[in-house]
Amino acid sequence: MKTILILGAGKSSTYLIDFLADSCEKKSRKLILADLDLSAASAKLKGRPGTHAEQLDSGNPEKRKSLISQADVVVSMLPAFMHPVIAGDCLELGKHFFTASYETDGLRKMKAEIEYKGLFFLNECGLDPGIDHMSAMKIIHEAKLKGEEIVAFKSYCGGLLAPESEDNPWKYKFTWNPRNVVLAGQGTSKYIEKGELKYVPYHQLFRRLETVHFPGLGDFDGYPNRDSLSYRQVYGLENIPTMLRGTLRRAGFCSAWDVFVQLGITDDSFHMELPENTTFRQFLNAFLPWHEQLSVEEKLAQLVPDLDFPTFEKIQWLGFFENRILPKTKGSPAEILQSILEKDWALNPDDNDMIVMQHLFEIKTAQGLKKVTSSLVSFGKDSVYTAMAKTVGLPLAIAVDLFMERKIKLQGLYVPVLPEIYEPILTELEQWGIRFHEETQWT
């Protein structure tokens, strides 16, 4: 009997757990779900045959390795910084490793030994990264087979609210790790546009926007991800003149978020020690110049001369002009901001989320220039069975299932850009309603 170990039972793991747990009895498998919160892990397994929960502090190497030693395949849904640690354990103990997160330099250093030991390590097999790779590579490989040349590729993805749940001016709530949202984009973004290399520092990021349109849903702000350039090699498009991967937010979100960036409220590099009864208004004022007569609102307007009413309304809605007491007074500005947003941007039980993804290709053909727009829209059921959990968890679960069925027979370190990996996953995802709609224009 083969054993699957899933590490982490957080928000994004719901569909992953259900998919693999539901098949344990039929496929003679055992599933162990390990999490710091044993009761939460047990609740997600729902007593299904062949499954059981374990309590695990992932910082405990003895317990962690003991659980990994019992498994054939390990799926890490832990925070990203833990993946190289888990991968190292799997390499030491001879276990196959799967994750939805980015392949890191730490994992790349293990490549030779992974191959030597005949193991299969698959990273970036979730939503973004994951479904974006697979759906893009399908179009790229089809074009190459026809002898066509891809001259431009832009890909955008966002985890947002379904329209019926957009009940605040930001049209946003947390559907995944709040800390990652607050720190999104920090560093320098790199991409290439019509042969020119572009570098966007963090303080410019939320001003360097492209409008991305989805029929029936309207306009979105697209801003570049941290590193688009490395994916030229991953996608086999080393000489492409335009390559950009980006993130989507509702139109207007980025202008308001940029106010926090410019003020320094998203800074995670220093620690604040504020008095216990500090208010939202005082917290905001701490990042504004001192003035004997001007109010907080006036100082903000003076410091941000292009502050318009929709942006002001978003900041006001969060309570920054009120005398509400901060939920947290010690920590970095980003941590204090996160504590504010975790309350106001929390998903309600009846909220539905939405995943939007769009690939924009320009392809040279014998008939002329072809523009291909490939779009995915996926809606969640509720605050537990979210579109985010579905699109992150299902590709990973399907990959694990295919590997254990010997339908993926690879050895080594991979992301899902090979037909052997992505074709059966995309086919199965369509059965779950995750499918792309393509439109073609000729110029």
If pLDDT is split at 50, 70 and 90, which confidence band does 175 have?
confident
pLDDT at 241 over 90: yes
DSSP string, 182-237: HTTT-S-EEEEETTEEEEE-HHHHTTS-EEEEETTTEEEEEEE-SB-TTHHHHTT-
The mean pLDDT value of the chain amounts to: 96
Q: What is the pLDDT of residue 371?
A: 97
Contacts with 192 (C-beta within 8 Å, 6 or more apart), sequence order: 198, 228, 229, 232, 240, 241, 242, 243, 244
If pLDDT is split at 50, 70 and 90, which confidence band does 176 have?
confident
Assign domain 257-344 to a CATH class. mainly alpha
Of 337, 308, 429, 321, the C-alpha closest to 378 is 429
pLDDT in tens, 202-220: 999 999 999 999 999 999 9
pLDDT in tens, 101-134: 999 999 999 999 999 999 999 999 999 899 999 9
pLDDT at 398 over 90: yes
- The CA distance from 297 to 295, in Å, is 5
pLDDT at 377 over 90: yes
If pLDDT is split at 50, 70 and 90, which confidence band does 11 have?
confident
pLDDT in tens, 32-55: 999 999 999 999 999 999 999 999
Q: What is the pLDDT of residue 417?
A: 97
Is 340 within 8 Å of 350 (Cβ atoms)?
A: no
Q: What is the pLDDT of residue 128?
A: 85
Q: What is the pLDDT of residue 440?
A: 94
Q: pTM of the entire structure?
A: 0.92
**CATH superfamily assigned to domain 131-254+349-386+438-442:** Dihydrodipicolinate Reductase; domain 2 (3.30.360.10)
Q: Which two tokens stand for residue 148?
A: 């066509």
Q: What is the pLDDT of residue 383?
A: 87
Q: What is the pLDDT of residue 177?
A: 85
pLDDT at 282 over 90: yes
What is the residue extent of each domain of the chain? 2-123, 131-254+349-386+438-442, 257-344
Contacts with 208 (C-beta within 8 Å, 6 or more apart), sequence order: 189, 200, 223, 224
Q: What is the mean pLDDT of residues 224-228?
A: 93
pLDDT at 418 over 90: yes
What CA–CA distances, in Å, run from 202 to 126, 156, 261, 268? 26, 18, 8, 13
385, burial (CB in 10 Å: exposed 0-12, middle 13-18, buried 19+): middle
Q: What is the mean pLDDT of residues 237-264?
A: 97
Of 162, 165, 194, 159, the C-alpha closest to 177 is 159
pLDDT in tens, 134-168: 999 999 999 999 999 999 999 999 999 999 999 99
Q: What is the pLDDT of residue 147?
A: 96
Is 311 within 8 Å of 256 (Cβ atoms)?
A: yes
Q: What is the mean pLDDT of residues 234-253?
A: 96
Of 249, 258, 196, the C-alpha closest to 223 is 249
In this structure, which CATH number among 3.40.50.720, 1.10.357.10, 3.40.50.300, 3.10.310.10 belongs to the domain 2-123?
3.40.50.720
Q: What is the mean pLDDT of residues 86-111?
A: 96
- The CA distance from 439 to 352, in Å, is 27
Q: What is the mean pLDDT of residues 272-298?
A: 96
Please report, rounded to a whole number, the percentage of residues in the chain having pLDDT higher than 70.
100
